C-alpha cells in the first residue's frame, strides 16, 4: 500500500513524533536523553529550524518545530541520523534506531500551536510518569517557566502570545498548561490506517448521509447531524479519532469531545 503524502503546514510549523524501531526504548539512561537534547541544539544553531517545544519519553519523542532554512523532512533526517549514529556506536549495535517514518501534523494557527505545546508538556502526566508538568525533567516546560537555565526553545515568541509582561505571560502559560483539557493530537497509536478500515468508515459515512438525505457539506453546518454521525462511527466502526477526523475533515479535538 503506497504511503500517503504528508499534509504541509502553511505556517511551516509541525507537531512531530519519532519513536523507537519496533517500539523499543531509544533512551536507556539520562546520558542518552542529554545527547538527544544536545543534538536538537546543535542542529538548530544555524537557523535550520526553530524549536517551540519537546518532550522525551522512553521510546518516543514529541517535537514542535517551525521550519527555517531547511524543510521539515531534512530537519528530521539530520536529527535522527545524528542520534542514531551515537546510539549504535555507544551500544555496539547496527540497524535502525527509529521507526522509518516519523509522524507529523501541520499546525496552522496560533491557538493550535499553544494546544499542541500543552499536549506535549502533559505527555508524561497522562502517561502517569509524573503528577504535573514541572516535575518532568525531559520536556521544555521548565524552560518556559524559568526553572531551566538552558533555553533551546523560542520562549519569548510563545510567551508573547499571552502577554507583553513576562511575569504575567509565564503565569498564564502555566495556568493554560495545567488546566483540564481533552486535547487529542498525534501519539503512539497513530499509525497509517489500514486500507480496509478507511474504506469501512467512508462507506459508513456515505450510507449514513444517504439515509438522512444530506450531503457531505452538512457535516460542518449541522451540529446535531455531525455529533450523531461521529457517535455512530465510534460505536459501529471502532475507528480511531484521528481517522474519523481526517475523513470528516474535522478538528480532532472536536471529534474527541463528542461522546
- The CATH code of the domain that includes 160 is 3.30.70.1290
Residues 107, 234, single domain; the answer is no
Residues 156, 227, single domain; the answer is no
- Quickly tell me which residue has 483540564 as its cell: 180
Of the candidates 115, 148, 178, which is a domain's last residue?
A: 178
Q: What is the pLDDT of residue 133?
A: 95
Residues 147, 253, single domain; the answer is no
Residues 30, 158, single domain; the answer is yes
Q: What is the pLDDT of residue 181?
A: 74
The residue range of the domain holding 87 is: 13-178
- Domain count across the chain: 2
Looking at the chain, the whole-number percentage of residues with pLDDT higher than 70 is: 93
Q: What is the pLDDT of residue 224?
A: 93
Query: 189 lies in a domain?
Result: no
Among candidate residues 253, 219, 257, 255, the one with its CA nearest the CA of residue 107: 253
Looking at the chain, the whole-number percentage of residues with pLDDT higher than 90 is: 54
Q: What is the pLDDT of residue 164?
A: 94
Q: What is the pLDDT of residue 235?
A: 85
Query: 249 lies in a domain?
Result: yes
Q: What is the pLDDT of residue 1?
A: 38
Of the candidates 143, 178, 213, which is a domain's last residue?
A: 178
Residues 100, 207, single domain; the answer is no
Query: 187 lies in a domain?
Result: no
5 vs 136, higher pLDDT: 136
Q: What is the pLDDT of residue 194?
A: 47
Counted residue by residue, the chain has a size of 259
Cell of 77: 533526517
Q: What is the mean pLDDT of the chain?
A: 88
CA dihedral 35, 38, 42, 47 (to 10 degrees): 130
Cell of 1: 500500500
CA angle 160, 165, 171 (to 5 degrees): 80
**Calpha distance 248→227 (Å, rounded):** 11
pLDDT tops 90 at residue 45: no
Lowest mean pLDDT among 79-88, 181-190, 230-239: 181-190
* Bridge partners for 55 per DSSP: 62, 139
Residues 161, 199, single domain; the answer is no
Residues 212, 90, single domain; the answer is no
Residues 167, 200, single domain; the answer is no
Residues 59, 161, single domain; the answer is yes
Helix, strand, coil % over all residues of the chain, rounded to 5: 50, 10, 40
| pLDDT (average), residues 95-115 | 88
Residues 42, 136, single domain; the answer is yes
Lowest mean pLDDT among 29-43, 60-74, 181-195: 181-195
Query: 2 lies in a domain?
Result: no
Q: What is the pLDDT of residue 87?
A: 94
Which stretches of 70-201 are assigned E, i.e. beta strand?
A: 103-107
* Bridge partners for 105 per DSSP: 15
pLDDT per residue over 216-225, tens digit each? 989 989 999 9
pLDDT per residue over 123-173, tens digit each? 999 889 999 999 999 999 999 999 887 789 999 999 999 999 999 999 999
pLDDT per residue over 179-209, tens digit each? 887 676 766 655 444 456 777 888 889 889 9
**Calpha distance 86→82 (Å, rounded):** 7
**Calpha distance 77→16 (Å, rounded):** 12
Whole-structure pTM value: 0.73
Q: What is the pLDDT of residue 101?
A: 75
Judge contact between 19 and 99, C-beta under 8 A. Answer: yes
Amino acid at each position: 500500500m503506497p504511503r500517503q503524502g504528508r499534509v504541509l503546514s502553511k505556517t511551516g510549523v509541525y507537531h512531530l513524533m519519532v519513536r523507537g524501531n519496533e517500539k523499543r526504548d531509544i533512551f536507556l539512561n539520562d546520558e542518552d536523553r542529554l545527547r538527544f537534547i544536545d543534538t536538537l541544539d546543535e542542529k538548530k544553531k544555524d537557523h535550520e529550524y526553530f524549536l517551540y517545544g519537546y518532550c522525551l519519553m522512553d521510546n518516543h519523542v514529541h517535537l514542535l518545530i517551525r521550519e527555517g532554512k531547511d524543510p521539515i523532512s531534512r530537519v528530521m533526517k539530520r536529527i535522527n541520523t545524528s542520534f542514531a549514529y551515537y546510539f549504535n556506536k555507544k551500544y555496539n549495535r547496527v540497524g535502525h534506531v527509529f521507526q522509518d517514518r516519523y509522524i507529523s501534523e501541520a499546525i496552522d494557527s496560533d491557538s493550535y500551536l499553544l494546544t499542541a505545546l500543552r499536549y506535549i508538556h502533559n505527555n508524561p502526566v497522562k502517561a502517569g510518569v509524573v503528577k504535573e508538568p514541572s516535575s518532568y525533567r525531559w520536556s521544555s516546560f521548565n524552560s518556559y517557566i524559568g526553572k531551566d537555565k538552558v533555553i533551546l526553545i523560542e520562549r519569548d515568541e510563545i510567551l508573547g502570545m499571552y502577554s507583553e509582561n513576562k511575569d504575567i505571560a509565564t503565569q498564564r502559560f502555566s495556568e493554560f498548561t495545567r488546566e483540564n483539557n481533552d486535547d487529542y493530537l498525534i501519539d503512539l497509536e497513530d499509525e497509517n490506517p489500514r486500507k480496509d478500515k478507511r474504506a469501512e468508515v467512508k462507506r459508513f459515512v456515505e450510507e449514513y448521509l444517504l439515509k438522512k438525505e444530506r450531503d457531505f457539506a452538512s457535516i460542518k453546518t449541522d451540529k446535531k447531524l455531525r455529533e450523531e454521525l461521529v457517535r455512530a462511527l465510534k460505536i459501529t466502526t471502532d475507528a480511531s479519532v484521528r481517522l474519523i477526523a481526517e475523513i470528516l475533515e474535522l478538528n480532532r479535538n472536536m471529534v474527541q469531545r463528542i461522546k
